[in-house]
Amino acid sequence: MVVPFVIDSKRRLLELLVFSEYGPNALRVIGAKHNLKHYEETASFIDVIVRWWKVVNVKTPFKGLRLRDDLQKPVYPSPFDPKVSFLNNVLDWLEEWKERRADVCKLSDETLGALIQTTRAFIEICAYCFEELKMSFVLLGKFQTDLLEERFGCYRRLAGSRYHLSARQIYECENKLRLQTTLPQIRTASAIDNDQNQNWEELQTQAVVPSGKFNILVTQEALSKLKDVIPVVTYVAGYLVQIAVKRLKCDKCKELFTIDKTVAVSPENCMYSLVKQIDRGGLVYPGMPAVNAVAHNYVVVEALSKCAEFLKVQN
């Protein structure tokens, strides 16, 4: 459960971290292992929101092909399009949730009403575009107000950070913005006091360099403690191997650091459990040399983070 502080409860970044694409799969893996309460229900709720966002945030026709995700493909006029069926199911679920009128475990009236109105509008837009306009597909991500909100944000900043603006202030701010687009941009560097400025020789003599006394010994006991996070370590190793193989373009390197997932990965192998759950056909399954390298690096970094002398070293 994520319980943010009061000052952090309105931060959009934390909300995006909660509704992550990989959150439900990770929660199911960790929840079953540590016996977390209501982890399956929480994962299902996050999964519905993530899938809804994938459907309504498609702005390019080939996004689903690039990401190997059918939910991120455009909406097509076929009556059996799973995306339209999913939106209808979400709308029924939200309306049923609204009729229950529960006091706990619910969304605010404004949030629930906005979700219902937005979902119903998307369904009606798809029907209108296909039946009346005879379009071949619809990109629901194009129906948004981001540019409009950005423009009104500029108006508010130019009007003294006021929330409610008059018609006169809007016209004045619009004239200022149009004038700014015609003027060249002048980049000014920050002024530095000459008395506090130092030359490169002095900076080099004062630079603190690690002395090399941080002898970290990677033992079998330290590696055995990574049992709970080994699926995450395997996923990170696969990401690093994919980048290395893509840059080197070496077939022998690919054979050395990857394995054939259709042959070498058994269902009982928990090391690849996280990779298998989030794989849509394009993830790399790293071999043991790559996993061992990342595991050793993890142990070293964790040991250095607990070393007081290392933490005093300037970056």
CA pair distance 168, 267, nearest whole angstrom:
67
Q: What is the pLDDT of residue 23?
A: 87
CA pair distance 122, 129, nearest whole angstrom:
10
Distance of CA 218 to the CA centre of its chain: 32
> CA distances (Å), 208 to each of 202, 241, 273, 311, 313, in order?
12, 33, 43, 12, 7
Give per-residue pLDDT as tens, 24-66. Answer: 988 888 888 888 889 999 999 999 999 999 999 999 999 999 9
- Give pTM, 2 decimals: 0.68
Q: What is the pLDDT of residue 138?
A: 95
Q: What is the pLDDT of residue 142?
A: 92
Q: What is the pLDDT of residue 314?
A: 65
CA pair distance 220, 202, nearest whole angstrom:
44
Q: What is the pLDDT of residue 305?
A: 85
If DSSP codes are grouped into helix, strand and coil, which group holds residue 212?
Answer: coil
| Residue 292, C-beta contacts closer than 8 angstroms, at least 6 positions apart | none
Q: What is the pLDDT of residue 219?
A: 87
Q: What is the pLDDT of residue 188?
A: 46
Classify residue 35 by its DSSP letter.
T
Q: What is the pLDDT of residue 195?
A: 47
- Token match 């292992």: residue? 33
Contact 156, 163 (CB under 8 A): yes
Contact 23, 274 (CB under 8 A): no
Write out residues in the chain with pLDDT < 70, as ranges: 1-11, 184-213, 262-269, 314-315
The beta-carbon contacts of 235-240 under 8 Å, at least 24 apart in sequence, are 235/274, 235/275, 235/278, 236/294, 237/286, 237/290, 237/291, 237/293, 237/294, 238/275, 238/283, 238/284, 238/285, 238/286, 238/290, 239/284, 240/286, 240/290, 240/294
Q: What is the pLDDT of residue 131?
A: 92
